[in-house]
A and B are shown apart, each in its own frame.
Chain A
Amino acid sequence: MSSAQIEIQVIASLVAVACAIPGTFLVLRKMAMISDAISHSILPGLVIGFFITQDLNSPMLILLAAVTGVLTVVLVEQIQKTGLVKEDTAIGLVFPALFSIGVIMIAKNANDVHLDVDAVLLGELAFAPFDRLIVSGVDIGPKSLWIIGVILLITIALLFAFFKELKLSTFDAGLATSLGFSPVVIHYGLMTVSSITTVGAFDAVGAILVVALMIAPAASAYLLTTDLKKMLLLSIVFGVFSAISGYWVAHWLDASIAGSITTMLGLLFLIVYLFAPSKGLIAVMYREKQQKIEVSLLTFLLHLKNHTEENERHVNHLREHINWQKIRAKTVVDLALKNNMITIDNHIVSLTEKGDEFTSQAIDYIITNQDTQIEDMKDDFFLFRG
């Protein structure tokens, strides 16, 4: 592993961490699309900054771009406040307009300089180590490493300083206001941090990857935990993992690093989405199926309880009466048998004592809708667990 390779991985990991922190809050605050909007609309800020300074590397650029980012947020909110359109429409209107302005400005005025739309959008991590920061003649590492390092430090400092406030205003804005925190200040603070992170990260990894790094780890983590601290930690781990693995995939395929990191993020999310223990697709589907069977079981038991006459309880009649298909009826009857709730004697189904008791309890529950009465049943069944 050459030093350039290590540097690329370090930069990618730092970017991942820097993005994961504000990203978590954006996802929780349902503002994930704002990051997409910001990443596009910083373009005019960059272009104007470039016109002023004529230097692609000046910090002025980052500052102006961040200002444009915040401006986007303000614009979106202003449009939304008029009540003429919904929030998502407002986002969808603002950022393409700003982006177009940026593209046109580049096309009109900066055609002959190195300011390429592709480069802005996609970034090129592979070149990052070649852009060194040289202080008084000493090479102290790649420039993007320093930029993103500083941003990360600021982000972490802010996170520790305002963790309580952020947490409160994210989950209960009303309470936060009544306790004297200003949600507006925190909101704009978060937006500013997101903008700066986006800007700082994008010239290393490109605008699209920034969005992916903000949203994907946080979304994956959100599926795994509901604890804010754990979620932050998990998303950081996810981010770093995909950054490093993505680099090696790119190395192997000889393709864009940004693209492969995003792909790794996507794969990670897909795995979590499918297999997350309680909120993953498979778990949810399994639970839904279980609940369906249990509802059927309950219907079946209630039916038995309501009919004392033997001909109503004949196995064949039951299937007609409740109108179930063969397989489903069999599953339900088997389940009931296994739980000792029914006995089948000469094709006549009858409730056992346990089944009778269970059914009465279930009726009680349905009528009164009180949790206390079914406490002891909860262990056996999904259905009553909420």
Chain B
Amino acid sequence: MLGSFAVLRKQSLLGDAISHAALPGIAIAFLLTGTKDSNILLLGALGSGLIGTFWIRGIINKTHLKSDTALGLILSIFFGFGMLLLTFIQKQPNANQAGLDKYLFGQAATLVESDVWLMALITGLCLLVLVLFWKEFKILLFDKDYANTLGFNTKTIDILITSFIVLAIVLGLQTVGVVLMSAMLLAPAAAARQWTNKLGTMVFLAAIFGAFSGVFGTAISATQNNLSTGPVIVIVASVFVMFSFIFSPNRGLLFRQIRFIKNRRDLELHKTLAFMYHIAKSHENISHPHTIKILNDFQGYTKSTLKKLVDKNYVTLQGNMWSLTTEGFDTAANLYNQQLKKDE
């Protein structure tokens, strides 16, 4: 859901960066408290995720480094630091340490009821904030300067969105793990984007896609042994994206190809008709018959275009001869005028 905003704000890879950046937070939280209480660990993750995000912003705003560099940098450095801490923890004489690395890849099966409640709570909170600040989010997303002139505090809203994205990511970490979290954030939104141009619909669709890939993914992984949930969910989500890319009615590749072919055919038809028109114009009688042969060295001509012209009653065929009908002549004469008009 929040992914929609990330995708539209061109911050898609932020999810990836944040999920990696959360690792040192988990490790530090563990080092400080020595417990494996998931809430505290999540708090740590949230903290370091936020630090990472704002550092990325700082780099982009204050230096000439580009966003991709900043993302990659923060991602790898934080993760490396997290690994350092994790291995450091492993050497500590603390029996509690095992299982921290489950945050790396996630294990939906290890979730307990309280985790689920926490998630439900936070999802509800996200939803509430989203509904409350819908207008602000929307305007910030599409026209930041306008939002600024209207007197919205863009910075606060910006921070609000970012914080919620971080929150969502940190929560998801437990389920699908660091590496795959970014796909969970992106894939449903990217899929939803193909079906609609409206933000509201898109967010709604993204939520549905996300939920479906979660359910299907879990179901598939439950039927087989040794299949961890996270990757399966991601693959299901990717399939959704692929399907959307190909089959969505307006932006999809399939329909675009069909439209492309159709346009080309139309163009060929027009070309043939225009060619015929020029020949017919040189004769007094427009329906004077000509042989089909003279069309042969002309590129737009095929048998099927001729047949289509006949179907449209623009041309009549008699044996090897064709002749324009009055209707066809008029259409051809108006062909360019029409196109001119359309252009205007």
Q: Which residues of A contact B (CB under 8 A)?
A: 27, 30-33, 35-36, 40, 79, 82, 84-86, 88-89, 91-93, 96-97, 99-101, 103-104, 107-108, 111, 117-118, 121-122, 208-209, 211-212, 214-216, 218-219, 222-223, 250, 253-256, 258-263, 265-266, 269, 273, 279-281, 284-285
A219 contact set on B, CB distance < 8 A: 65, 69-70, 73
**Whole-angstrom CA separation of A259 from B91 in the bound complex:** 14
Provide the bound-state CA to CA distance between A86 and B84, in Å.
34
Nearest residue (CB) in A for B253 is A82
The chain A residue with its CB closest to the CB of B75 is A36
Ordered by A's residue number, 16 sampled pairs between the chains whose C-beta atoms are within 8 Å are A36-B76, A85-B7, A85-B190, A86-B7, A91-B12, A91-B13, A99-B180, A100-B231, A103-B105, A212-B76, A218-B69, A222-B69, A255-B88, A269-B77, A281-B58, A281-B62
Rounded to whole Å, the gap between the CB of A379 and the closest CB of chain B is: 25
B84/A260 in contact, CB under 8 A = yes
The interface bits of chain B over 79-93 (1 if a CB of A lies within 8 angstroms of the residue's CB, else 0) are 111111111100100
Q: How far is the CA of A266 from the CA of B83 in the complex (A)?
A: 13
A122: chain B residues within 8 A (beta carbon): 83
CA separation between A374 and B20, bound complex, in Å?
50
A213 vs chain B, min Cβ distance (A): 8
- Please provide the chain B residues from 222 to 256 with a CB less than 8 Å away from any CB of chain A in the complex: 224, 226-228, 230-232, 234-235, 238, 241, 245, 251, 253
Q: Lowest 4 A-B CB distances belong to which pairs?
A: A262-B80, A259-B84, A96-B183, A212-B76
Q: Let me know if A259 and B180 touch, CB within 8 A.
A: no
Cβ-defined contact, A256 with B83, below 8 A: yes
Evaluate contact between B87 and A212: CB separation under 8 angstroms: no
Interface size in chain B (residues, C-beta < 8 A): 63
Report chain B residues within 8 Å CB of A31: 68
B323 within 8 A of A: no
**B80 adjacent to A261 (CB under 8 Å):** yes
Tell me the minimal C-beta distance from B105 to chain A in angstroms.
7
Q: How far is the CB of B196 from chain A (nearest CB, A)?
A: 13
CA distance A261 to B58 in the complex (A): 23
Known contacts: A91-B13, A92-B12, A219-B69. The answer to whether A82 contacts B226 by CB under 8 A is no
B72 lies within 8 A of A32 (CB): yes
Kindly report which residue of chain B lies nearest to residue A91, judged by CB atoms.
B13
Partner of B88 from A32, A36, A40, A253 at Cβ < 8 Å: A253
CB distance from A290 to the nearest CB of B (A): 15
Whole-angstrom distance between the Cβ of B63 and the nearest chain A Cβ? 5
Task: Kindly report which residue of chain B lies nearest to residue A34, judged by CB atoms.
Answer: B68
CB pair B226–A108 under 8 Å, yes or no, is yes
Docked pose: A30 CA to B10 CA in angstroms: 14
Q: How far is the CA of A265 from the CA of B72 in the complex (A)?
A: 13
Query: What A residues does B165 contact at CB under 8 A?
Result: none
B13 touches A259 (CB 8 A): no
Find chain B residues with CB under 8 A from A107 CB: 226-228, 231
Q: Are A30 and B68 in contact (CB under 8 A)?
A: yes
Residues of B near A212 (CB, < 8 A) are 73, 76-77, 79-80
B interface vs A, CB < 8 Å? 7, 10-13, 15-16, 20, 58-59, 62-66, 68-73, 75-88, 91, 101, 104-105, 179-180, 182-183, 185-187, 190, 193-194, 224, 226-228, 230-232, 234-235, 238, 241, 245, 251, 253
When the two chains form their complex, are residues B68 and A259 in contact, meaning their CB atoms are under 8 A apart?
no
Output the nearest chain A residue to B105 by Cβ-Cβ distance.
A117
From B63, B104, B226, B227, contact of A279 by CB (8 A): B63
Q: Is there contact, CB below 8 Å, between A104 and B235? A: yes
> Chain A residues with Cβ under 8 A from B179's Cβ?
40, 96, 99, 121
Question: For the complex, what is the distance from the CA of A314 to the CA of B104, rounded to whole Å?
Answer: 67
CB contact between A92 and one of B13, B228, B235 (< 8 Å): that residue? B13
The one of B69, B84, B232 in contact with A263, judged by C-beta atoms closer than 8 angstroms, is B84
Across the interface, do B190 and A89 meet the contact criterion of CB distance under 8 Å? yes
Please tell me which one of the listed residues A30, A82, A89 contacts residue B12 in the complex, with CB atoms under 8 A apart: A89
Instruction: Give complex CA distance A84, B80 in Å.
Output: 34
**B71 to chain A: closest residue by CB:** A33
Q: Is the CB of B81 within 8 A of A263?
A: yes
Structural contact, A284 and B63, CB atoms closer than 8 A: yes
A210 to B, closest residue via Cβ: B76
Alpha-carbon separation in the docked complex, A218 to B76 (Å)? 13
> Contact check: which of A88, A100, A253, A265 meets B230 at CB < 8 Å?
A100
* CB proximity of A89 to chain B, nearest CB, Å: 4
Contact A97 B71 (CB under 8 A): no
CA distance A111 to B224 in the complex (A): 14
Q: How far is the CA of A88 from the CA of B11 in the complex (A)?
A: 7
Which residues of chain B are near A285, meaning CB under 8 Å? 62
- Within 8 Å CB of A281, what residues of B? 58, 62-63
Which residues of the partner chain A approach B15 to less than 8 Å between Cβ atoms?
A: 92
Known: A111-B226, A208-B76. A259 touches B87 (CB 8 A): yes
A159 vs B89: C-alpha distance when bound (angstroms): 41
Contacts of B253 in A (CB 8 A): 82, 84
User: Contact at B81–A273, with CB atoms within 8 Å?
Assistant: no
Residue ID in chain B nearest A222 by CB atoms:
B65
Contact of B76 among A86, A93, A104, A262 (CB under 8 A): A262
Q: Which B residues touch A279, using CB under 8 A?
A: 63-64
Q: Quick check: B193 and A85 within 8 Å, CB to CB? A: yes
Taking a contact as CB atoms under 8 Å apart, the answer to whether B88 and A93 are in contact is no
How many Å lie between the Cα of A211 and that of B87 in the bound state?
19
Q: Are B71 and A32 in contact (CB under 8 A)?
A: yes
Do the beta carbons of A265 and B77 come within 8 Å of each other?
A: yes
Instruction: Say yes or no: A100 contacts B83, CB within 8 Å.
Output: no
Quick check: B190 and A93 within 8 Å, CB to CB? Answer: yes
Chain B residues contacting A84 (CB-CB under 8 Å) are 190, 193-194, 245, 251, 253
Inter-chain contacts of A86 with B (CB < 8 A): 7, 10, 12
**In the complex the two chains form, what is the Cα distance from A212 to B87 in whole Å?**
18
Contact B62 A284 (CB under 8 A): yes
The residue on B at minimum CB distance from A83 is B251
> What is the minimal beta-carbon distance from A130 to any residue of chain B, in angstroms?
18
Are B104 and A118 in contact, CB atoms less than 8 angstroms apart?
Answer: yes
How far apart are the CA atoms of A218 and B66 in the complex, in Å? 12
Selected from A30, A266, A273, the residue in CB contact (under 8 A) with B63 is A273
